[in-house]
Amino acid sequence: MYKMISRYSTKKLLILQTATIISPNLIKKNMQINFHQKNLHLSDSQKDYMTAKIMGLEIFKVMEDPSVVVKVDIEYHDHNSSDKKIVLGVTVAIPQDTLRAETDCSAPEEGIDLIEAKLRHQLEKYKDLHQ
């Protein structure tokens, strides 16, 4: 965990702000996450955001299994006439099953938010069936 301190002053008044930043390296990673990009390059911050969203699904016990493999496919379509030119798909290989969610979006962050909700719903169904 890192502490980021920003200082700025306004006329003799010194204000300190402290924010806690959790390094992606400190998050326990039981699952393997692979990114496949086509006609698009994701920045490190976008990858970190997507990884954090996917890691948030570890509240489901099945996602803690070390054999879980997540494949994130992201593709940019220039010939699309709509605003949503990015196709984002996530495949989660869990024991005894495979989950898949896909969406069209205008930004990768928007897409992973939608996909997280879809995967959360699928994992709840999986949990109910396999209890």
Helices (H), 16-107: 44-55
Spatial separation of the C-alpha atoms in residues 131 and 113, rounded to whole Å: 27
Helices (H), 1-129: 44-55, 108-129
* pLDDT tens digits for range 10-46: 344 333 333 334 444 444 556 899 999 999 999 999 9
The arithmetic mean of pLDDT across residues 6-13, rounded, is 40
pLDDT at 76 over 60: yes
Spatial separation of the C-alpha atoms in residues 44 and 41, rounded to whole Å: 10
Residue 41 in contact with residue 79, Cβ under 8 Å?
no
* pLDDT tens digits for range 85-131: 899 999 999 988 999 999 999 999 999 999 999 999 999 999 998 87
Higher pLDDT: 14 or 67? It is: 67
* Domains defined for the chain, CATH in brackets: 28-129 (3.30.160.100)
**Token duo for residue 48:** 């970190």
